Chains A and B, each alone.
Chain A
Amino acid sequence: MTAELREDIARDRRAHLIVTGGSGYIGRRLVEVANERGIAITALGRRAIEPTSLLRSLRWELGKRVPPEAFQHDIWAAPSAIIHLAHDWCADMPEAISPRNVAAASAILDSRDAKAPHLSCVFVSSQSAQPDALNQYGRCKWAIEQIMIPGKDVSARVGLVYGGRPQGQYSTLCNLAGLTPILPMLETDRLVRPIHLDEVCTGLLALALQTPRASKPWVGLAGFPVTFGQVLGDLARWRHGARLRVIRLPTAPMLFAATVLSRMTAKGKPIRERILGLAGTPVTEQTTDLRDLGLDILPLARGLEADTWICRRRLLEEARVMLAYVSGRPAGFRQISLYVRALRQRRESALPLRLSARTIRLADARDPRLADRFDLAMRIAESARCAPAPQGRFRRLAGTALMLAGEFPFVLLRLTRTRGR
C-alpha cells in the first residue's frame, strides 16, 4: 500500500461503510481491516456479527431492501459507500444464479436511491465477468455490473483470492493442494490472477473511499498472471510444506462427464459450473487500475510466504515437532509459544519443508540449514528441562555408552552428507 493511500485512509478514520456479505471469506477480513483503520462498518447479513465500537450488524437477506437504519447512525458519520459482497450461489439451481443476484443488487440500489442517493456502490465482481462467460457465475457478475451507474458506482473485478483464514474457494484449493503428492487437475495451464485477501480488502476500501469516484465502470483487483497448476504447487509448498506434482487432465472429457453427472444428480451441477468457470477465465491487462489505487500487489509466492495465517500455523507445527524431537517429550504450550515468538522477533518465517516426527531425524543429519532452528529449540527445551533422576557414576557412564551405540545409524547418515558436500 502506498503512503498516499495510507494517508487517505487515515484522513477517513471516521468514515462509515455499509458492507453486505460481511461474514463471508472476503467480508470477514474486510470488516477487520476497515476497523483496524478506524473505519466504522454496518454489516448486513443473515447471521448476526458480534458488535464492537466500530461495527454493528443488521439483519438482512439477499434480495430484500436495505433496512433504513443502515443509512444513519447516532455517532458515526453518514455512510459514504456500500460494498456489495453478498452472493447467492443457488447451489441447487445454478441457472437461477443470475436472476436472483441481479434482483438482489437492484434492491440494494433501489434502497440506496431512496434513502441516500449520494452513496456510491462498490460491487465485488469477478475476473470471469463477461457477457458470454462460459459459466453462470461470470454472466451473472457481468449482468450486475450493467445495472451499476457509471461515474458513481464501480465494480471491482477480483482475481483468484488467497490467504487468510481458509474459507470458501480458498479452503477448497488448500485442501486440494494438500490432498496427495500427485494431483490430477483440469486446466493446469490456465492463467489466473491470484491476489492476497488483504490486498483485496485494501483495494475495496480504497475504491469505496476514493474521491473523485472512478470514471471507469470496472477496475481490476488481481495480481500477476500465473498458471492454475502453479497456484496449487505454491499452496502445497507454503501451506503444507510439501512438494506437489500436478498432472493435467483433458478438459473436454471431464466436462462431458460433469454434464452427464449434472443431468443425473443435483451435485453434478456445481462441478460443471466450476469447470466452466476455470476454463472461461480471461486474462486482462489492469496494472493501471492497481497503480491508480496505490496498490502494490505481491507475487503469489511472496504473498503466501508473508501470509500471517499460514506463517502462524506452520510455525506452530514446526515448533511442536522441533521441541518434541530435541527434548524427547511432547512440547508444552509455553515452549511452543517461546519458539514462535523468538522466530517472529527474528523476522523469520517457517521452514519451507514439512517436518514430522519421522522426518526430523533425517533432517537433523542431513540439512545444515536447520542448525539455527535446532539451536533455538534446544535452548528453549533446556529452559523447561526437568532435573535428571539421581544416578550413580557407573550407571550414568553405561547409559551414555548405550546411547552412543544407538547413534551409529545417525553418524553414518551424517557422514554420507559430509561426503556428498
Chain B
Amino acid sequence: MTIDVLIVGSGPAGVSAAWPLVRAGVNVVMIDAGAGEDLDPVNAPASLGDLRSSQDTWPFRFGRELESLSAARNADASPKLSTPAALRLTRTFAERTAITASGLRCLGAQASGGLSNIWGAFACAFDSEDLSGTVLAAGVLDASYRAVAERIGISGVDDDVGRHLGIDLPLQSPIELDDGPADLIARYARHKSIVNAGGLELGRARNAVLSEDMDTRRACARTGLCLWGCPRKAIYNARYELAKLGALPNFSLIPGKRAVSVRHDELGASVTTVDATGVGEEIRAGKAILCAGTFESTRLALDMLSYRRPVPLLCNPVSALALLQPRRLGVSAAGEGFALAQLAYRLSLPDNTYAFGAIYTSEGLPMADLARSIPLSRPVAAKLAAMLSPSMLVATCYLDGALSQCTAELRGDALHLEGGHLHAAEVAAAMAKRRLAKLFRRLGCFLLPGSGGLSTPGSDAHYAGTLPHRLTQPADGLPWTDKGGRLAASANVYVADGSVLPRLPAKHCTLTIMANADRIGRGIAERTT
C-alpha cells in the first residue's frame, strides 16, 4: 500500500487528524510509540466505598511495582498524575525522550492514546475572544469542534459558563452532581447577581465523559474511582478509537515505533523510527503529520529545520484552592460519586483577562495528600482530613499561557526545557485568589489557608505554542506553521498537536488541540484527494 499520509503519534491529536483523512479515502498509516501497554488498574474495587472499606487495597492504590510509592509525592502535582498507570507512563516518557528540564515539570506519554491516558477529560472550546488576532479566529474551528464533540462524547449543559465553553456543540446530559457541588450551584442560583457583578460566573463542567452509552463505551456509573481510569470506558481515551480506525481498510497502525527524525523533499516525507530493541526503520509517505505531543513534535521539527535556538513554549500558570463548605461539616463520606470536574467557573480580571477553573470534590483524593498541609500530628491530621473531606471542594485556577515564561531548545538529540512564570502571573494569581475567596464566601465556601499558590510550571501538562500557526513568516526567524499546519520551509511535513496553537488562553486546551487536528486533517484530505 502506498502511504499517502503518515501520522506520528496515537494521542488525541493523531486520532483526530486521522479520522477526516480516513473518511476521505486517504491511505493513512499511524506510528505509535506505545505497544499495547497494560494501563488498567489492578484489583479495582467496585466503588470508592469499597476502596475505603477493603482491607488490602495496595495493588490498586500503588501498583504491583509500587509505582505510586517509589518516589516522594510531589506536593503540587495533580492527583491524577499520581496513579500507578500515570506514573508508569510519565516515567517511561522521561526515560525514552531524555528531555532535560529546569524549572518546568515535563509530562508526556509514549503509549497508545498518548496524554489522553492521563487527561482529566475537561472538554472546553476556545471562544472567538480567546483566538482573536490569530489564524484560528472567526469560527475556523467551529465545524471541527462539533465533529470532535460528536465523536468523543461530551456531557455538559449550556449555562452561564457553558457559553464560554463552546456553543452549539452536541452535548450529552451532564453527569449527576455530588452533594457538595450541587449545594454550591444552588447557592449560586440564589446569589447570582451579586457574584456575577464581582466577575464570577459558575456552571456545570463539560467533560469527555459519557452520560449515555456510545458504541462499546458505557455511561458513567459514578463509582468515584475516575482518577484510576474507568473500566466502563466512560472517560474518553484516544486508544479506544484506534480499534475503530483499524477496522477501516485504508488505515494501519504500526505499534512500538518511536520517531527519531523526520526528513522531507519535494515528493514526500520520510520518518526514521526505532523500536524497543533499538532496530531502526525508515518509513516513506506522501505527507507526514507530527502529532507526537508538543515536546516530541517540537524536537522532530527543530531537528528537521536544524534550528538550535530556544523557541517560546506556552504553559498555563495554575494553582489549586481548597474550599470548605461549613454547612456540610460532619456529613458522612459518600461511597460513590464523580471524581472529575463537576463545576467550572470563569472569573473576570482586569485588562480583559480572566481566570478559569474547574471544581472537584475531594473525596477521591488520598487522605495523606489532604493531611499533609494540616499542622497537627499525623494521626489526628489523617482523621481530620477524613472528616473534612466530604465538606471540601478543590478548585483549580488557570491563567493565560502568555503569563508563562518557558522555552524549548534542541541540544544535541534531546530537547531542553526552561520554565518560569512572569511576575504578572503571580500578581494575577494572587488577585484571582483574593477575589475567588471573597466570592466563594458569598456562596458558603471558605478558602482554606495555605492553598492557592502557583504550582511548578507545566504541572498540569498544558503545553503549546512552540510551532505556532501564522499567516506569514515571522520576522524573528522562529519556526512556524502555516494555517494548514504545514511546517514552514517544508513541502510535506505538517504538525497538528498542541505545538501549533498560537495562543493558550486560561482554559483546558485538549478539545481545541483535537479540533485543530481535525481541521488540519480535513485540509490535507481535500488537497490529497
Contact = CB atoms under 8 A, between A and B. Distances in A.
A376 B377 contact: no
B387 A382 contact: no
Contacts of B379: 325-328
B368 A378 contact: yes
B73 A375 contact: yes
A364 B73 CA distance: 18
B97 to A, nearest CB: 22
B56 A383 contact: yes
Interface string B291-312: 0000000000000000000000
Q: Among A374, A391, A393, A404, find the residue whose CB has the most chain B CB atoms closer than 10 A.
A: A374
Interface in B377-407: 377-380, 382-384, 386-387
Interface stretch (A102-110, A115-123, A395-403): A395-403
B463 interface: no
A127 B329 CA distance: 71
Contacts of A364: 377-378
Given A364-B378, A393-B331, A334 B56 contact: yes
B216 interface: no
A401 to B, nearest CB: 10
A325 B375 CA distance: 16
Main secondary structure of the interface of A (DSSP, over half): helix
A377 B382 CA distance: 11
Nearest to A376: B69
A365 B387 CA distance: 22
B367 interface: yes
Given A342-B70, A376-B69, A397-B330, A383 B382 contact: no
Contacts of A346: 70-72
Place the interface of chain A in its size category.
Answer: 35 or more
Interface string B309-340: 00000000000000000000111100000000
B380 A338 contact: no
A391 B331 CA distance: 10
Contacts of B66: 338, 341-342, 345
B378 A374 contact: yes
A397 B61 CA distance: 29
Interface stretch (A11-19, A146-154, A202-210, A406-414): A406-414
Interface string A27-54: 0000000000000000000000000000
A315 B55 CA distance: 23
Given A382-B367, A393-B331, A411 B56 contact: no
Given A327-B379, A328-B379, A403-B384, A375 B72 contact: yes
Given A338-B58, A383-B58, A407 B380 contact: yes
B52 to A, nearest CB: 5
A388 B71 CA distance: 29
A375 B58 contact: no
Given A345-B69, A414-B375, A375 B56 contact: no
Contacts of B191: none
Interface string B51-76: 01101111001100010111111000
Given A334-B58, A338-B66, A345-B70, A382 B378 contact: no
A365 B377 contact: yes
Contacts of A380: 58, 69
A387 interface: yes
Interface string B353-379: 000000000000011100110011111
A403 B383 contact: yes
Nearest to A339: B69
Interface in A322-343: 325-328, 334, 338, 341-342
Contacts of B52: 385, 387
A194 to B, nearest CB: 33
Q: Among A374, A375, A383, A390, find the residue whose CB has the most chain B CB atoms closer than 10 A.
A: A383
Contacts of A396: 330, 332, 387
A381 B371 CA distance: 13
Contact of B376 (A334, A338, A407): A407
A184 B355 CA distance: 68
A384 B371 contact: no
B378 A386 contact: no
Interface in B456-512: none
B333 to A, nearest CB: 9
Interface string A198-241: 00000000000000000000000000000000000000000000
B481 to A, nearest CB: 42
Interface string B68-86: 1111110000000000000
Nearest to B385: A378
Contact of A400 (B73, B368, B387): B387
Nearest to A373: B72
A14 B384 CA distance: 62
A187 to B, nearest CB: 44
A346 B87 CA distance: 14
A374 B380 CA distance: 13
Contacts of A394: 330
Contacts of B368: 375, 378-379, 382
A342 B69 contact: yes
Q: Among A378, A384, A386, find the residue whose CB has the most chain B CB atoms closer than 10 A.
A: A378
B291 to A, nearest CB: 34
B69 A404 contact: no
A325 B387 contact: no
Given A341-B66, A345-B70, A383-B57, A403 B380 contact: yes
Contacts of B56: 334, 383-384
A407 B377 contact: yes
B400 to A, nearest CB: 33
A41 to B, nearest CB: 35
Given A338-B69, A385-B52, A410 B383 contact: no
A361 interface: yes
A362 to B, nearest CB: 10
A364 B372 CA distance: 12
Nearest to B60: A383
Contacts of A342: 62, 66, 69-70
Contact of A375 (B70, B372, B375, B383): B372
A69 interface: no
Q: Among A384, A391, A400, find the residue whose CB has the most chain B CB atoms closer than 10 A.
A: A400
A372 interface: yes
Nearest to A391: B332
Given A382-B367, A386-B55, A338 B62 contact: yes
A383 B71 CA distance: 17
Nearest to B328: A393
A371 B381 CA distance: 13
Given A375-B372, A407-B377, A390 B58 contact: no
Contact of B53 (A325, A375, A386): A386
Interface in B272-297: none
A326 B383 CA distance: 10
Interface in A67-122: none
Given A338-B66, A393-B330, A378 B53 contact: no
Contacts of B58: 334, 338, 380, 383-384
17 contacts: A338-B58, A341-B69, A375-B72, A375-B73, A375-B368, A376-B69, A378-B371, A379-B73, A382-B366, A383-B62, A388-B386, A390-B332, A393-B331, A400-B330, A404-B380, A407-B376, A410-B377
Given A378-B371, A380-B69, A387-B53, 20 more contacts: A334-B56, A334-B58, A338-B62, A342-B62, A342-B70, A345-B70, A346-B71, A346-B72, A364-B377, A375-B368, A379-B368, A382-B367, A382-B382, A384-B58, A386-B53, A390-B332, A396-B330, A403-B384, A407-B380, A410-B380
Interface of A: 325-328, 334, 338, 341-342, 345-346, 361, 364-365, 371-372, 374-388, 390-391, 393-394, 396-397, 400, 403-404, 406-407, 410-411, 414
